[in-house]
Amino acid sequence: MSAPVIECRNVTRSYGRGENTLNAVAGVDLSVAAGESLAIVGKSGSGKSTLMHTMALLDRPISGAVLVHGTETGNLSGRQLERLRNQEFGFVFQQFFLIAGQSVLHNVVLPLTIAGIRPAERRRRGMEVLERLDMADKAKSRAENLSGGQKQRLVIARALITNPAVIFADEPTGNLDAATGQIVEGLLFDLNREHGITLIVVTHDPDLADRCGRQAMIHDGRLTTLTPAAPTAVEESR
């Protein structure tokens, strides 16, 4: 298997204090190889989204360590964490988090705007990724005028704009009908297989989980089951 792109070492994430402390993630050890697809599954409130947020450096663990490409992230400043997230990770959530009154292109290039990339380069890269997802004709459309499936494709385009090593997808088809959900799933797994992007999916959908190379079952914040590793997209391409 490839070297881990993300590694959790005895990671715990808690909320509250004293008797009201809740260990949303409790002592999790988990490694994710470059190019693999992993589903994090569990019942509502099991801690699966908290684990993903911790792996994605959106939350800091209370104890333990999260490593990205072998680098321990616990001592990084907030600005360093933000830069690392922006360079390495893309995000696809159930909620679209779009700026409704702005154009599709404006929404897609938002990470580049935050990173200080010049307008001409932002537009070039934005149009390139929209063409990749067959949405170039929607570049000037207002985001609020898109269908649900188009909005999720826009979100995937935004996730791709920084050429991420990892895409985190939290219930990515939760707001879509079955047919549109299948299309969105296909896009995500095509990116994993054809481009070697590591895919980490949080889901309660068993069919979506079964499409991933591995499944990590979370119960009361603990990793209870981890299926054996399957060949990653990177390894299959060799």
The predicted pLDDT at position 235 comes to 47
Report whether pLDDT(102) > 90. Answer: yes
124-181 pLDDT, tens per residue?
999 999 998 889 999 999 999 999 999 999 999 999 999 999 999 999 888 888 888 8
Work out the average pLDDT over 1-28.
85
| pLDDT band for position 234 (cuts 50, 70, 90) | very low
Domain count of the chain?
1
Which residue matches tokens 């054809």?
A: 194
The predicted pLDDT at position 229 comes to 52
Range of the domain at 19: 4-236
Task: State percent of the chain over pLDDT 70.
Answer: 94
How would you label 14-31 residue by residue, b for 16+ Cβ within 10 Å and e otherwise?
Answer: beeeeeeeebbbbebebb
178-233 pLDDT, tens per residue?
888 898 899 999 999 999 999 999 998 888 999 999 999 999 999 998 886 554 55
Q: Would strands 214-219 and 63-68 be described as parallel, antiparallel, or unpaired?
A: unpaired
What pTM does this model have? 0.88
**Residue 13 sits in a domain of what CATH number?**
3.40.50.300
Task: Give the Cα separation of 79 and 81 in Å (integer).
Answer: 5
Q: Are 166 and 67 in contact (CB under 8 A)?
A: no
